[in-house]
Amino acid sequence: MENFIYQANPSRVIFGSGTIQKLPEELSRLGLSKPLLLCTPQQTSQAADLEKILGGKVAGTFSRATMHTPVEVTEEALEVLKSTGADSLVAIGGGSTTGLGKALSIRTGLYHICIPTTYAGSEVTPILGETQAGLKKTRSDPKILPGTVIYDVDLTMTLPASLSATSGVNAIAHSVEALYAQNGNPIINLLAQEGVRALAAALPAIVADPSSREARSSALYGAWLCGICLGNAGMSLHHKLCHTLGGTFDLPHAETHTVVLPHALAYNAPKVPRAMKMLADVLPGSDGDAIRGLNLLLDKLGVKRGLKDFGMKEADVDRAAELATSNAYPNPRELEQGPIRELIRRAWAGEHAKADL
């Protein structure tokens, strides 16, 4: 076995059904009593439910969490935070709300409790992506990691099947890149395979029956494991592309990950045979071909396959390729402008991924 380093991130996880009711107990355990609640404009009712659970003992609610964590929204939230005298942050929602909670926590030092309602996985990572002037940049710091994560399967039961699918594939992407990460290790490989296995089985079941509590529980479990992989291993081409495309062209986060993933994997495939085998082993119907397995999964989920479906123009392909190759970053295969451009063009057009880049 090769030498490796593994470091577990110190977050506390509460997993199950009805676990949101443990929020008052968790705040009390931490000696906190005046949280600022965070949510998106679409999830104010869930923030209101939290306020009821806490018996009204909150500093207030900021409901403008926004996709890609724009710095200007964070600055607006900071002003609200200062005016309320909050002693902690409780974020309920998906990646947008989690990102805002992270941005506020790293700026203020306040304890951050995260309550995910999607399969984003960012709640268990020390990574923050922020957008300013049309560019999305990421940074990593142990202080960014939320202190407590409360996974409540009940909160995912009303997540639309289509969003469940793309959110779940976004989570799978974390594990895919962890399998060939420069700083990967055997422990993360095990978590990555188990996370993909759980999600690849659960997501088609959710699309077929969104009310399946068993499938919802498995998907949330898988997303947690994939999030751990994201937080413990360096990401490569896929995540770089998605940050570039999402931040620059204002594309939806989970949907962009879903479209790009099989193409990014196809690009790296020649350099990562071991990772391809590990992935193929846990993707149903792959027949030993991980790209085939991913294409098959996306077909089962019925998701949109083209970035053009989300507003990206064909004229943007060249610029996206330039941005994606402008800065050096770890990737198993050297970045080549021509093949990267073709990768993005295929993703834009909605073509099935092929291992010929």
Q: Are residues 99 and 225 in the same domain?
A: no
Range of the domain at 47: 12-156
Per-residue pLDDT band for 227 (boundaries 50, 70, 90) equals very high
* Within-domain flag for 4: no
N residues, the chain:
357
Give residue-wise pLDDT tens across range 128-181: 999 988 888 888 899 999 999 999 999 999 999 999 999 999 999 999 999 999
* Within-domain flag for 194: yes
Give residue-wise pLDDT tens across range 44-55: 999 999 999 999
Rounded Cα distance, 80 and 75, in Å: 9
Q: Are residues 58 and 87 in the same domain?
A: yes
3-state secondary structure 228-278: HHHHHCCCCHHHHHHHHHHHHHCCCHHHHHHHHHHHHHHHHHHHCHHHHHH
- Mean pLDDT, residues 22-34 taken together: 97
Number of domains composing the chain = 2
- The last residue of one of the domains, among 140, 156, 172, is 156
